[in-house]
Amino acid sequence: MSHTEASPTPSADPNGRVILRKGRARPLWFGHPWVYANAVEKVEGTPEPGDVVSLVDGDGRFIGQGLWNPRSQIPVRVLTRDDEALDAAFFVRRLQEAQSRRAAIGLPNEDTTVYRLVNSEGDQLPGLVVDVYGKAVAVQITTLGLWQRRELVFEALAQTLAPEAIYQVAAGSYAELEGFVSVAGVARGPSHTSVSCREDGIALEVEPLVGQKTGMFIDQRPARQRVGQWARGRRVLDCYAYAGGFALQAARGQAASVTAVDSSPRAVTRIEAHAAANQVAVTAVEADVFRFLQAATPGAYDLIIVDPPKFARARKDLEAARKGYERLNTLALRAAAPGALVVSCSCSQNVSGDDLERIVAAAGKAAGRRVTLLERLGPGADHPLPPAFPEGQYLKVLCAYVD
């Protein structure tokens, strides 16, 4: 793997022109931000990986500008539809626009200081995720071109948000696909193991450099809120609880009891600390979720959350993932009491909403339970998407009633 360092002053103007094949520009005219490799007819000029390129259709009509990476199956991701320099001022403008979108939906506020400020393509900054945790921000960069311009991103964040610290979160396999080495660390400000924030009034401690994603599953806020609304008087089981987000909402919602299960000792410790800090009762259990559910008394729970890690990382994994999801949901339904509510989630992009519905239906049949779908949820409003970008719809949540 090559290690591509940031150039001191990466080019802000186009160093080449990418011409699409006839008929392949239609998705981009409707807002799709990606150019797939098989849509490229030819490249004029000699752009280096990470350079700005202009994008035109087969008739020579200007579509926009993006960052070039011939190594990727997505060699161009569109950052702007205008003829403008992708310089420091550009990134400041994009962040200000993202702030305006969050302000429109009431974020941040006194009760919620954790939210997504930049959702990659949804904020016209493909390859960039910025999550705000109170007075700190966590940044994940997943494309070569933005990695080369990371100092511009950090400076723009310093100007617009003035956070106490900026954490740089490793990009893992994304970086490998793009051809750069992503390292985790503190980009600006003091280094702390954890940062304090609040979600719906619940006090949280987040570890950006060692936690999953950028430290927390911010996208599940709507489902956590729903669990809090439905929890009163119910025996609640939170499977794959991580830091206890669902469990804490349920406990605050006056559940009769709350059990949070995770295989990670670190997660269990964090759940217990969060419960103590918020003065709620949660029983945290270190266990494999499949084994825990297999041993559970049938009908033991009135509200079950099933929020597993990604089972299908690639399309080739889909069949194995489907079987895993079905087995997991079958076990959960067997543990559900008559009249229980089950919240079943999938964060696998390769598992569609229709796939998840079929999985839950099959699980109901296998468990001998009648399942009625009540609601479909997804990421919160701080995770916007372009209207013509189904690839961005990764999180699926089904809320069901069990007879």
Average pLDDT over residues 351-366: 95
Residue 253 gets which letter from DSSP?
T
Choose the final residue of a domain: 167, 197, 227: 197
- Residue 182 and residue 285 share a domain: no
Percent of the chain with pLDDT over 70: 97
- Residue 145 and residue 50 share a domain: no
289-309 pLDDT, tens per residue? 999 999 999 999 999 999 998
120-144 pLDDT, tens per residue? 999 999 999 999 999 999 999 999 9
- Residue 73 and residue 99 share a domain: no
- Residue 192 and residue 131 share a domain: yes
User: Distance between CA 243 and CA 44 in Å, rounded?
Assistant: 50
Choose the final residue of a domain: 47, 64, 80: 80
Give the range of the structural domain holding residue 33, as residue numbers without chain letter: 17-80
Q: Is residue 12 part of a domain?
A: no
User: Distance between CA 393 and CA 351 in Å, rounded?
Assistant: 10
- Residue 245 and residue 313 share a domain: yes
**Token pair of 375, please?**
């609601």
- Residue 228 and residue 270 share a domain: yes
- Residue 106 and residue 21 share a domain: no
- Residue 163 and residue 49 share a domain: no
Q: In 10 A of CB 276, how many CB atoms?
A: 11
Within its chain, how far is the Cα of 75 from the centroid? 22
Q: Is residue 233 part of a domain?
A: yes
Please confirm, yes or no, whether 345 is among the known catalytic residues. no
Q: Is residue 246 part of a domain?
A: yes
Q: Is 18 exposed, middle or buried (0-12, 13-18, 19+ CB in 10 A)?
A: buried
pLDDT confidence of residue 321: 82
- Residue 153 and residue 270 share a domain: no
Task: List the catalytic residue out of 197, 239, 345, 347.
Answer: 347
- Residue 315 and residue 170 share a domain: no
Q: Is residue 258 part of a domain?
A: yes
Helices (H), ranges, 105-259: 144-148, 150-160, 173-178, 221-230, 245-252
Residue 263 gets which letter from DSSP?
S
Q: In angstroms, what CA-CA distances link 11 with 77, 187, 196?
A: 16, 22, 37
68-121 pLDDT, tens per residue? 999 999 999 999 999 999 999 999 999 999 999 999 999 999 999 999 999 999
Query: Which H/E stretch holds residue 358?
Result: helix 353-367
Q: Is residue 260 part of a domain?
A: yes
Q: Which CATH number does the domain housing residue 304 bear?
A: 3.40.50.150
Provide the phi-psi class of 215: left if phi over 0, else alpha when psi is between -120 and 50, else beta. left
181-229 pLDDT, tens per residue? 999 999 999 999 999 999 999 999 999 998 788 889 999 999 999 999 9
Q: Is residue 206 part of a domain?
A: no
- Residue 221 and residue 161 share a domain: no
- Number of domains present in the structure of the chain: 3
Residue length, the chain?
403
Q: Which CATH number does the domain housing residue 95 bear?
A: 3.30.750.80
- Residue 93 and residue 28 share a domain: no
